[in-house]
Every structure is written in C-alpha cells, then in structure tokens.
C-alpha cells in the first residue's frame, strides 16, 4: 500500500513541478480495489472508469485534453506482478 501511495504522491509532485494543479483521478476498478487505503489519503476527486482496469490517470481538470503535460498515467499492475513473483520465490524455499 505504501508503494502505491508513494507512486501517486510522486506523480502529483511531478505535475505540480510542471505548473499543473492535479485535482482529479480517473481510475479503473482494479486500481481502486488495490489502492483503496492510499486513495483515502490523497486529496483528489476520483472517477471510476471501467476501461482503465489496473491503471489511473492523475490530471489537472482545467487542462485535461488540452495539453499533454496536464496528466500522467500510473498503474498498479507492475507492483502486483512483482509481489506475485516474490510470493512464488518464497514458495520455492531455496
């Protein structure tokens, strides 16, 4: 969970450093499911978008769709895959 929160906060800071004011997140259902605790700690309006699945887009709603640097896409899928690999390695008991 802390990895997900760090990823979200890092993305928000990147957008702010480029002069944006990130205020919304468009998130897939699986992203929301695995990030529920982290999402409670951030101050963004969250919209569920089925098509995003394990991904989310953090954006400045004033510029979304107008300029490319107004949003960033993030995903929990790589974190889940990494966790799965570590679990498999633990099972090997080497």
Block means of pLDDT (10 residues each) for the chain, 94 residues, are 87 96 96 91 95 94 89 82 61 66
> Using one digit for the tens of pLDDT, what is the confidence trace for 58-69?
999 999 888 888
- Predicted local confidence at residue 94, as pLDDT: 57
Degrees (nearest 5) of the Cα angle 8, 80, 6? 20
- Predicted local confidence at residue 30, as pLDDT: 93
How much of the chain is helix, strand and coil, in % rounded to 5?
A: 50, 20, 30
């Amino acid at each position: 969970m802390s990895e997900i929160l760090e990823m979200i906060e890092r993305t928000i800071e990147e957008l702010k450093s480029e002069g944006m004011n990130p205020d919304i997140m468009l998130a897939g259902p699986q992203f929301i499911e695995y990030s529920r605790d982290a999402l409670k700690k951030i101050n963004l309006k969250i919209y569920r978008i089925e098509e995003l699945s394990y991904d989310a887009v953090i954006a400045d709603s004033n510029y979304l769709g107008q300029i490319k640097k107004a949003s960033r896409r993030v995903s929990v899928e790589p974190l889940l895959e990494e966790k799965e690999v570590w679990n498999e390695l633990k099972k090997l008991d080497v």
